[in-house]
Amino acid sequence: MKNYMPSRSVVNDFPVASIPHWVLDNKFITPNAICVYLALSRFIDSEGRCTPSRKQLVKASGLDTHTVEIALGILENYVGAIEHLERRGSSNAYFVHNRFAPVSNREIREQ
């Protein structure tokens, strides 16, 4: 049987979002936070940064604005999966940790 490997253009047309195990294994993660993490992942650039509006996150996650706000707080303050980047006079910007756990998250998991 022939092994199928899609061409680069096919891969780019059908992007895949994944959740690192250290995010899923965190004791503070919630189903809504997972939805928002995946929604953020749809917007990240090659460096892990993204600038979606709240409206875009609400639409991409299927959650209401208040629930998205709570999930963002959980992802940033308890899980360590994202960092809110300060931007003056512009939309929100985030850095999404999608490879390795940040040091602060490793410390939380050890407790």
pLDDT score at 101? 56
Query: Is 24 or 105 the better-scoring residue by pLDDT?
Result: 24
pLDDT in tens, 34-92: 999 999 999 988 888 999 999 999 999 999 999 999 999 999 999 999 999 877 776 78
**46 vs 56: CA distance, rounded Å:** 19
Distance in angstroms (rounded) separating the CA atoms of residues 48 and 89:
21
Looking up tokens 């998250």 gives: 105
Using only C-alpha atoms, the chain has a radius of gyration, in whole angstroms, of: 15
pLDDT for 88 equals 73
Say what the pLDDT of residue 15 is. Answer: 66
For residues 19 and 110, which has the higher predicted lDDT (pLDDT)?
19
